[in-house]
C-alpha cells in the first residue's frame, strides 16, 4: 500500500494545468454505448475511475484505443452483453451511468447496485423512477437492477429528490431519452456543467436536446446517434481544490483552463474568507492574504457550493480567525475527514450534517488515513500547511479523482512524495 508524505510550510506559487473533468468524462464515456461508428474524446483525465469505466465498457462490447495526450477513440463492436457486473460496479458509483444507454440502445440493462466512496446513503430510486416513466419494466435480482423495454416513449419526468436534483439520474434519463419515441421533458433536472457537457456531446452525435443547464431539459427522440468528436470540460472540483491550496498556503497560483463561471459559489465564499480571485487570460488567478476570515458554507446543487469541495473548504477554515459553520445538505454523512483533521490539531465538532469549526493558529503533521476521494484532498491540503510531516495512507482514494496530484503540487513548490508503507 502507498502513502503520501507531506512536509508542510511551503508557499505554493506557479501555474497548474487543470485536467479534464472526471464527473463529465464518465457519463460521456458511457454514452458511447448509444453511438454508431467512432467516438473520439479529448481531455480525458488519466484516473483510476476512468480506467474502471473503460474496463466496464470493454466488457460491454465497447472497444477503446488511447490516442495519446488524453484522447481516446471508442467504438461499439458487440451488443450482446448488457450486464454491468458487481466486480466492476462496486468500485465506482458512476458505473450506473451505463443503465440508461444500455436500456435505450440494447433494450435491456442489468447493472449491479453501485459502490464508490463511503460518503453516506445515495439512493438509486430516481434512476429507476425516470426510466420506468419512459416505459421500462424494472426488477431487483440478486443485487442487480434489471430493466427491459421493447421501446421507450417520451414523457414528463420529475427528478426532484430528498437532497435536490440527482446528477447521475439526470444523465441516465437524458441518455435514454435521446433514442426514445417522441418528446421527453425532465423537470427538476440537475443543472451542473457536467450535464451540459454531456448534452453538448450527445447533440454533436445527432441528439436534439434543449434547456440543459436549467432545471427543465427537453429531449426530442431520434432514431440513431452517430459517434462524434468532443473535448471534455476542465474539472471544476480539481480547480476548486487548487484554489483552496493557494489560500491555505498563502500562495499565488494560475489555474490554466479553469472556468470561473463553473465555480461562482466557491468564488463567493473564498472571497469572503480573504482569497483574491480574478479571471486571467489562461483561466483563474488565485492569491491569498495572511488572515483568513471565518464564514458559513452550505452545500447545494449547482450553482450552489459543491459537496465535492466541502471537505477541502473545511480544512481551510481550520485556520480561519474565528468560528465557521459548514453544512452539507447533499451528503449529510460526508464527514469522515473530521476526526483526521482533529488529529492534526484542528478544533472541529460535528452536529448532524453540520460542522462547527473553531479556528486554530496552526496544524501539526500526523499520520492520517483517507476515507474517500475528497477527504483525501482535504488531508493533503492540511498537510501542506501543517508543522512537520503528515503521512496520509490509502492514496488509492485520491487516485480515483486527481490526475498526478503529487506531481502538480511538487511543480508549484509543495514538499510531497509518494512512498510505500
pLDDT digits (tens, 9 = 90+) for 44-74: 999 999 999 999 999 999 999 999 999 999 9
E-strand ranges in 300-375 read: 323-328, 347-351, 354-358, 367-369
* Contact call for residues 283 and 254 (beta carbons, < 8 A): yes
Annotated active-site residue 117? The verdict is: yes
Domain 2-19+234-420 falls under CATH 3.65.10.10: yes
Q: What is the pLDDT of residues 389-421, one digit of tens each?
A: 999 999 999 999 999 999 999 999 999 999 987
pLDDT for residue 143 = 82
Spans of all domains in the chain: 2-19+234-420, 22-231
Domain 22-231: CATH superfamily is Enolpyruvate transferase domain (3.65.10.10)
For residues 311 and 408, give the distance between their C-alpha atoms in angstroms, rounded to a whole number. Answer: 20
Position 113 scores a pLDDT of: 80
192 and 302 in contact (C-beta within 8 Å)?
Answer: yes
What CA dihedral angle connects 378, 370, 117 and 43, to 10 degrees?
A: 60
pLDDT at 163: 64
Choose the catalytic residue: 117, 191, 205, 318: 117
**Residues of the chain with confidence (pLDDT) below 50:** 116-122
> In which residue are the cell numbers 434543449 written?
210
Q: Distance between CA 126 and CA 160 in Å, rounded? A: 8
pTM equals: 0.94
Q: Which residues, 6 or more positions from 373, have their beta carbon under 8 angstroms from its beta carbon? A: 117, 397, 398, 400, 401, 402
Per CATH, 2-19+234-420 and 22-231 having the same topology is answered yes
Amino acid at each position: 500500500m502507498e502513502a503520501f508524505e507531506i512536509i508542510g510550510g511551503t508557499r505554493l506559487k506557479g501555474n497548474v494545468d487543470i485536467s479534464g473533468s472526471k464527473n463529465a468524462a464518465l457519463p460521456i464515456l458511457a454514452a458511447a454505448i448509444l453511438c454508431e461508428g467512432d467516438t473520439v474524446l479529448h481531455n480525458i483525465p488519466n484516473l483510476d475511475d476512468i480506467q474502471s469505466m473503460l474496463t466496464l465498457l470493454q466488457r460491454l462490447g465497447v472497444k477503446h484505443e488511447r490516442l495519446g495526450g488524453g484522447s481516446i477513440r471508442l467504438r461499439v463492436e458487440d451488443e450482446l452483453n448488457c450486464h454491468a457486473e458487481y466486480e466492476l460496479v462496486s468500485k465506482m458509483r458512476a458505473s450506473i451511468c451505463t443503465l440508461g444507454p444500455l436500456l435505450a440502445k440494447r433494450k435491456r440493462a442489468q447493472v449491479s447496485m453501485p459502490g464508490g466512496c463511503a460518503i453516506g446513503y445515495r439512493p438509486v430510486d430516481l434512476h429507476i423512477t425516470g426510466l420506468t416513466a419512459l416505459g421500462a419494466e424494472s426488477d431487483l435480482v440478486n443485487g442487480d437492477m434489471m430493466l427491459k423495454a421493447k421501446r421507450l416513449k417520451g414523457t414528463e419526468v420529475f427528478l426532484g429528490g430528498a437532497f435536490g436534483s440527482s446528477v447521475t439520474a439526470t444523465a441516465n434519463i437524458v441518455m435514454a431519452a435521446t433514442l426514445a419515441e417522441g418528446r421527453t421533458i425532465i423537470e427538476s433536472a440537475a443543472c451542473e456543467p457536467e450535464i451540459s457537457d454531456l448534452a453538448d456531446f450527445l447533440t454533436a452525435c445527432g441528439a436534439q436536446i434543449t434547456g440543459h443547464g436549467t432545471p427543465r431539459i427537453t429531449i426530442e427522440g431520434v432514431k440513431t446517434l452517430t459517434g462524434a468528436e468532443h473535448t471534455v470540460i476542465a474539472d471544476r472540483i480539481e480547480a476548486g481544490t487548487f484554489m483552496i491550496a493557494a489560500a491555505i498556503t498563502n500562495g499565488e497560483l494560475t489555474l490554466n483552463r479553469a472556468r470561473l463561471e463553473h465555480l461562482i459559489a466557491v468564488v463567493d465564499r473564498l472571497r469572503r474568507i480573504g482569497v483574491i480571485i480574478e479571471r486571467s487570460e489562461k483561466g483563474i488567478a488565485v492569491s491569498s492574504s495572511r488572515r483568513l476570515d471565518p464564514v458559513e458554507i452550505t452545500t447545494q446543487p449547482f450553482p450552489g457550493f459543491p459537496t465535492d469541495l466541502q471537505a477541502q473548504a473545511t480544512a481551510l477554515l481550520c485556520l480561519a480567525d474565528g468560528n465557521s459553520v459548514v453544512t452539507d445538505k447533499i451528503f449529510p454523512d460526508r464527514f469522515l475527514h473530521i476526526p483526521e483533521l482533529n488529529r492534526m490539531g484542528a478544533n472541529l465538532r460535528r452536529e448532524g450534517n453540520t460542522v462547527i469549526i473553531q479556528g486554530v493558529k496552526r496544524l501539526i503533521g500526523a499520520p492520517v488515513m483517507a476515507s474517500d476521494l475528497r477527504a483525501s484532498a482535504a488531508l493533503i491540503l492540511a498537510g501542506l500547511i501543517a508543522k512537520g510531516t503528515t503521512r496520509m495512507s490509502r492514496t488509492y482514494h485520491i487516485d480515483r479523482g486527481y490526475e498526478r496530484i503529487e506531481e502538480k503540487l511538487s511543480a508549484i513548490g509543495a514538499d510531497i512524495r509518494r512512498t510505500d508503507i
